[in-house]
Structure formats: structure tokens, C-alpha cells
Amino acid sequence: MFEQLVGKLPVGIAVVDAQFQVIYLNDFFLDRLPHEWRNTYKKTPVTDIFTEQGKFLKRRLKSVFVLRHPSFSYWEQRPHIFPFKSSRPITGEETQMYQNMEILPIKDKESGHTYACIFLQDVTAQASYFRAQQKLSHALKQEHEAQRKLIKKLDSAQSHLIQAEKMASTGQLAAGIAHEINNPIGFVNANLDTLSQYASHLVAICDGVETHLFEMEGELKEQIKALYNSNRYALLKDDIHELLVESQDGLTRVRDIVENLKQFSLDNKEGMQVIELKGLLEQLIKLISTQYGKPQYKLQCDAERLQVTGDPSMIKQALMNIVLNAAQAIEEKGFVKISLLEQEDTVTVKVLDSGKGIPPQLHKRIFEPFFTTKPEGQGQGLGLSVAYTAIEKHKGKITVSSKQDKGTVIDICLPKSQPDLIDET
């Protein structure tokens, strides 16, 4: 009766031995196994059944067996551990399952063998509710901020609109950075470098002692062996380098994100300057992809350096608005491709996206100030208007070609030099 009850529980229960071989699966796991494994899963390593998750599961199970402590994994850290589907109770719609996993060490009193019990909980409904609340809260904050900025912009001249739109775009991207980063990142990174060196030296010392164990005899040898075993030296040696590398990679990524944001937002040069377009667009892609990571970004430019003369803040803001619009148009998978084409006296920046496109009846209105196709509170309708004004002031042209549900192409043609504008400054 107890086994029937465990088998029917609405949570996944799997028992594996020290070689990670499956001893028991309840119905929750069995019903979701691939058909070829349903009759042959016993005595098969769980890492063979779930090959894509094998490295992660092996690491967690090894930790449980060695340390004899539970291991937890929550959906916010790793949403989809096993490739299972979750069905909606009313609609029957299947979505990828969000999961909480807990692995507990258990000991068979009769045999004395230790096993690991995997508990898997389907938390798709809770995760969906939590994320919906996050989106609602984020949308409300955006709406409140958009209304405040819109009132201010209505009272300003066109020159102020350009700067306000720049700040709005930068603020929108900055909102995607989850944590505030400041000075401590510097000494944390330095400490990690030092810690990595210390760890290498300590491992080298321990390895050296271990190689001379066979020369030792008596109680000292046994004491050293016991010391290695009690401190789980083999596990520490395998794990410490990987943990340090992961931490350093994470710090490097955060540092690069913040640096790109800082360089873009603090560069307030005014007047006519030589602008290197390829470098500017590379910087823009890094910055925008931090907030909008779903599209694949590609920059194509045959020339190593491609320059125009213009106002850096205006050109930067125009390109920012256009690339940002392209990224926002992609709701799921897609791409944003930027091509730089050099002619005799002009340079063309072509921005192609595979997003939802623009309905034909709206093509004539896309450059109108305050016109937007975004939901209320999620756009001020100034992005393309500001871009159009900036390009026109530089004696350039901007054209749009779009097909609904297929994508949009925006061509920005800029003269390489601006003699009239330079004289004006």
C-alpha cells in the first residue's frame, strides 16, 4: 500500500545508487520517460537516461554521496532540469516544466548501502504566476516613468526631446541589469585572482604529500590518509578550480556590461566629430543585447574602419533608437542584422530584423512624433521621430520597408563629410 501511494504522488521520486544507477522511479518519472527507457531504466545510470543533464546531475549526486548532505536546486536558478512537459489543468496546454529538485541521502539499514533520493516538484503554475506579477510590476513602473517623461517632453523644445529620449533609452536598458554594481567588483576580482593562485599552491602541496604516502609507514601514514578523507580532498580538488573559473567569468561579464553602459551613457561630446561607425555599432549591440537577448545580432562590414563626420550624440541616439526598435520587435527567436555599405561619398547603415513588422496602413505614420505601435505605457513614440530628425539634420536619408509578420528593413544613408554643418559650428 505504501509503495502504491508513493507511486501515485504528484511529485517525481527517483532512487539511485552510488554508481548513479536507477533503483526506483515512481509514476511521475515513468510517465515522462522516453518510451525506449520505460522497461530498461533499472540499473541504468541516470546520466545515460538524461544525457543533456548528465554533467549537472553527476555533480549534484556526487556531492550528496560524498558530503552526506541534501542538495537543492530551485526553478529560479535552473528552471528545466529534466526535459518534462507540464499540462495546464483547464486548457490542457503543454509547456516546458519549471521544477524544484531536492536530492537527499538515504541509508538502507539492512544492507548498509547509501542511496540518493531525487524529489522533483512541478512548480510551473507558481513560476508562471510569479513571472506574470514581475511583468505587471515592471509594466506599471514603465508606464509611470513614461507618463512622467512625456509630460516633461511636451514642455520642451525639439533639442530637449533628443536628449530626453537618449536618457529614456539608456534607463530602459539599465533596468535590465539585476544588481547594482559599484567599486567592490574591483577588489573582489583581485581577491579571486589571488585566491586562485593560493588554491593552486595548496593543491600542489597536497598532491606532493599524497605522492609520498607510499614511502610512509605506520600511524603517520594512516593519519594523513584519514585527514585527506575527512576533508573530502578528491572532491575539493575537482571542484575548486571550476568554481573559481565560473566566479571570474561571471565578474568579467558583469564588468563588461557595466563598462559598455558607462561608456555609452557618459560620452556626451557635442559638435562635429569624426565618428567610427563600426566601433559604435559594436558597442550598441553589446549594450542592447544585455537587455534584449532573444535575437541573434550580426554586424557585417567589409572595411576595417568606416567613418563619417557628424554630431556623435545625435548619430549615436539615432542608431540606438533604430537598433533598439529592431530588437524590441522580436518576441521570440529571431535576428537583427546590421550591414555597413560604403559608397563614394556616402555610407549606408542597413538594419534588418525578423520581427513582427509594421501593418501597411501605418507605414506613413511611423516618423510622426508621439506615434507608437507599442502598448500604452511602453513607448513614447519619439524613437523613430528623433532618429529621422537627426539623420535629416546631417543631410542624410532614412527609409523604411516592412512586411507584417516578416520583418523590417531600415536604411540610413549618411554623407561622409558635413562641410555646411562644420561651418555652422
Average the pLDDT over 271-300 and give the result. 85
Q: Is the pLDDT at 332 greater than 50, yes or no?
A: yes
Q: Is the pLDDT at 127 greater than 80, yes or no?
A: yes
**Percent of the chain with pLDDT strictly greater than 70:** 79
Average the pLDDT over 379-399 and give the result. 77
Q: What's the domain range around 15?
A: 2-122
Cell numbers linked to 245? 573559473
Hunting for cell 536618457 — which residue is that?
A: 167
Average the pLDDT over 298-316 and give the result. 84
- Indicate if 282 and 412 belong to the same structural domain: yes
What pLDDT is recorded for position 267? Answer: 52
- Indicate if 275 and 417 belong to the same structural domain: yes
- Indicate if 188 and 322 belong to the same structural domain: no
Q: Is the pLDDT at 162 greater than 70, yes or no?
A: no
Residue 417 lies in a domain: yes
Banded model confidence at residue 293, pLDDT cuts 50, 70, 90: confident
Last residue of a domain, one of 201, 231, 266: 266
What pLDDT is recorded for position 411? Answer: 92
Average the pLDDT over 252-267 and give the result. 60
Phi, psi (degrees; rounded to nearest 5) at 385? -65, -45
Q: Is 68 left (phi over 0), alpha (psi -120 to 50) or beta?
A: left
Contact criterion met (CB below 8 Å) for 413 and 346: yes
What pLDDT is recorded for position 113? Answer: 87
- Indicate if 301 and 413 belong to the same structural domain: yes
Look at the alpha carbons of 349, 352, 353, 358 in this order and tell me if their dihedral is positive or negative: positive
- Indicate if 407 and 294 belong to the same structural domain: yes
Residue 218 lies in a domain: yes
Average the pLDDT over 141-167 and give the result. 65
Banded model confidence at residue 147, pLDDT cuts 50, 70, 90: confident
Residue 141 lies in a domain: no
Give the lowest-confidence range in 222-236, 248-262, 284-298, 364-378. Answer: 364-378
What pLDDT is recorded for position 115? Answer: 92
What pLDDT is recorded for position 179? Answer: 43
- Indicate if 193 and 70 belong to the same structural domain: no
Give the lowest-confidence range in 116-120, 162-166, 335-339. Answer: 162-166
Last residue of a domain, one of 100, 122, 144: 122
What pLDDT is recorded for position 160? Answer: 44
Q: Is the pLDDT at 308 greater than 80, yes or no?
A: yes
Measured CA distances, 347 to 38, 77, 389, 397, 409 (Å): 61, 45, 18, 11, 16
What pLDDT is recorded for position 245? Answer: 80
- Indicate if 251 and 278 belong to the same structural domain: no
- Indicate if 278 and 261 belong to the same structural domain: no
Average the pLDDT over 133-151 and give the result. 85
Residue 369 lies in a domain: yes
Q: Is the pLDDT at 274 greater than 80, yes or no?
A: yes
Other Cβ atoms closer than 10 A to 260: 20
d(CA 270, CA 6): 71
d(CA 382, CA 351): 18
Residue 414 lies in a domain: yes
Residue 138 lies in a domain: no
**Percent of the chain with pLDDT strictly greater than 90:** 10
Phi, psi (degrees; rounded to nearest 5) at 338? -120, 125
* Summary mean pLDDT of the chain: 79
What pLDDT is recorded for position 352? Answer: 93
Hunting for cell 550591414 — which residue is that?
A: 339
Q: Is the pLDDT at 351 greater than 90, yes or no?
A: yes
Q: Is the pLDDT at 159 greater than 50, yes or no?
A: no
Banded model confidence at residue 423, pLDDT cuts 50, 70, 90: very low
- Indicate if 259 and 282 belong to the same structural domain: no
Residue 142 lies in a domain: no
- Indicate if 277 and 420 belong to the same structural domain: yes
What pLDDT is recorded for position 418? Answer: 65
Residue 129 lies in a domain: no
Last residue of a domain, one of 96, 122, 148: 122
Other Cβ atoms closer than 10 A to 102: 15
Q: What is the total count of domains within the chain?
A: 3
Q: In the 3-class helix/strand/coil scheme, how is the chain assigned residue by residue?
A: CHHHHHHHCCCEEEEECCCCEEEEECHHHHCCCCHHHCCCCCCCEHHHHCCCCHHHHHHHHHHHHHHCCCEEECCCCCCCCCCCEEECCCCCCEEECCEEEEEEEEECCCCCCEEEEEEEEECHHHHHHHHHHHHHHHHHHHHHHHHHHHHHHHCCCHHHHHHHHHHHHHHHHHCCCCCCCCCHHHHHHHHHHHHHHHHHHHHHHHHHHHHCHHHCCHHHHHHHHHHHHHCCHHHHHHHHHHHHHHHHHHHHHHHHHHHHHHHHHHCCCCCCEEEEHHHHHHHHHHHHHHHCCCEEEEEEECCCCCEEEECHHHHHHHHHHHHHHHHHCCCCCEEEEEEEEECCCEEEEEEEECCCCCCHHHHHHCCCCCCCCCCCCCCCCCHHHHHHHHHHHCCCEEEEEEECCCEEEEEEEEECCCHHHHHHC
- Indicate if 292 and 258 belong to the same structural domain: no
- Indicate if 262 and 300 belong to the same structural domain: no
Cell numbers linked to 380? 513614447
Q: Is the pLDDT at 266 greater than 50, yes or no?
A: no
Comparing 124 with 215, the larger pLDDT belongs to 124
pTM: 0.43
Q: Model confidence over 89-117: pLDDT tens digits?
A: 666 677 888 989 999 999 888 888 889 99
Give the lowest-confidence range in 42-56, 68-82, 240-254, 372-386. Answer: 372-386
Cell numbers linked to 328? 524590441
CATH code (residue 74):
3.30.450.20
